Amino acid sequence: MGAPVPNDVRLKGPFQPMRFEATVEDCTVTEGEIPKDITGGFYRVGPTWKRPTLQGTSGLLAMDGMVQSLVIENGRADFRNRWVRTPKYLLEDKLGRGAFEWADGEWGDYRTWGYADVKRTPENQGVTQGTNNVNVFPFAGEVLASGEQGGPPVALDPISLETKGQVRWADELSDGMIGGKTFTAHPKWDNETGELYGWAYKDTPPYVTIHLVKPDGTVRSRVLEDAPYNSNAHDIWLTEDYMVMPFQPFLNSQERVRAGKSIWQWDPEKPITLALIPRSLEGDVRWIETELEPQYIMHTMAANTVDGKIMLDGPIFNRPPFPFEFDVKEGEAVPLFFSLAKSSLGRWTVDLETGKVKSELLSDRPAELPKIDERYFGKNYEWGYMVGGDAKKAGMSMKSLVAHNMRTGREDEFRIRHDSPAAVLETTFVPRKPGADEGDGWIIVPVSRWRERLGEYLIFDTYDVSAGPVCRIEIPFLMGWTAHGHWMDFR
């Protein structure tokens, strides 16, 4: 039985759900030409409302994942989107209705995320609740969709997007906060060895377990016994020697949900603490308790190690861009993402000799969703790319592509969004050819022109992004909102 899309701000504007699967072969190019050297796929995933939960609410992380792909070869682009057929999705598809009730799903306001435990019934017993809707990334010839909590990654075929099932190494992972075995949505990888650096986190000690996954599915793990508190461990930096994990006072707790509060908490009294974890997972972990003022890095750019100092780059917020009880009242609508706080590119510099950490801003431009040439994960790097925008009250409105040289400070921008409403989504970098120098290639930017019920992909030459796109590829329908994604090279 069909159900109307709920009257919820999380399902309006750019967040309108794309509830159908589609294949568009040989997409229309409305401007320029697709560079013929590009061969690979750009994969993105996001939460997409398919049917009501048992409570009828719309927690972002309770919505099923929808993967979108743009596969490019010899100047042609094919678009596909498919549901991530998780165990939850398959059960509900069989039943034709929702099968889960979330502990944070009863309110329908800013506290409802789908990030809490579910009520177990004979119907859903043993079925993981994960929706795998936060990120999708390449690994060992497959693309993996992950949701950070609720279940392990799910593997998909890079061409057809057919769901293959949960990864074969799922049983080697650690339990997360909810739903059993879990894996981060923001791993890093070594381009030469193919090794995947990830972790699982939860809200009770020990808070974090590190997982190093080899391409053959072998998993090595290390528990961070001395992790200081229940931080939302969303992202890391990978350097030549370390995984650097920040413990920031953006907390998550099931106890808060049981007390009728949002799972998220901002506690700026807690110190920002860095864990320097050897990439081998052997040897001592170095813990650095900083004296930084309250601030927050949600997504990391990358890191450079020079003269005994590690420079950790990423957009810095003065607080997380999530709603807390001091922002809204019970029953009020959920503020749109990035409307409560803005970020600008910054740097935390760690002096390895003294253990001192300093923070600085590298730009005053509002920006987020940082990306690099991902062949340089774990290496010193020069170029970073972001979605930039304008300050808008306490938050920001995302409108442009920004390229930043991390050595010289040079910053180039192209304004994508002007008067017409649109969502400029997270970008990806594509090398010009195998073995190309760092940053030599193209940036692909997805844009949801939701008011026109159209989508498009813009391709920029990294030589000068301010010159505008060399190509525009049209998607002839509303292209759903996606949080994150990555490029998989076929060459």
- The pLDDT, as a whole number, for residue 194 is 97
Q: What is the DSSP string of 338-399?
A: TSS--EEEEEEEEETTT--EEEEEEEEEEEEEEE--GGGTTS---EEEEEEEEEETTEEEEE
- The pLDDT, as a whole number, for residue 1 is 55
Long-range residue pairs from 318-321, CB within 8 A, at least 24 positions apart, any chain: 318/294, 319/266, 319/268, 319/294, 319/295, 320/250, 320/264, 320/266, 320/296, 321/395
* Cα 400–Cα 324–Cα 102 angle in degrees, nearest 5: 100
Cα end-to-end distance, the chain, whole Å: 46
Give the alpha-carbon dihedral of 352, 353, 357, 362, to 10 degrees: -70
* 398 neighbors 424 (Cβ within 8 angstroms): yes
- The pLDDT, as a whole number, for residue 335 is 77
Q: What is the pLDDT of residues 120-131, one digit of tens each?
A: 999 999 999 999
Q: What is the mean pLDDT of each run of 10 residues along the chain (491 residues)?
A: 81 92 98 98 97 90 97 98 98 96 92 94 96 98 96 98 98 93 98 97 97 98 97 98 98 96 96 98 98 98 98 98 90 80 98 98 98 98 97 93 97 91 96 97 97 96 97 97 97 95
- The pLDDT, as a whole number, for residue 366 is 97
Q: What is the pLDDT of residues 213-239, one digit of tens each?
A: 999 999 999 999 999 999 999 999 999
- The pLDDT, as a whole number, for residue 332 is 77
- The pLDDT, as a whole number, for residue 417 is 86
- The pLDDT, as a whole number, for residue 180 is 86
Strand segments, DSSP code E, in 406-480 are 411-415, 423-424, 428-431, 441-449, 454-461, 471-475
Q: Phi then psi for 90, rounded to 5 degrees?
A: -65, -40
Paired tokens of 51: 């049917």
Cα dihedral across residues 40, 403, 472, 66: positive or negative: positive
Query: What is the reported pTM?
Result: 0.97
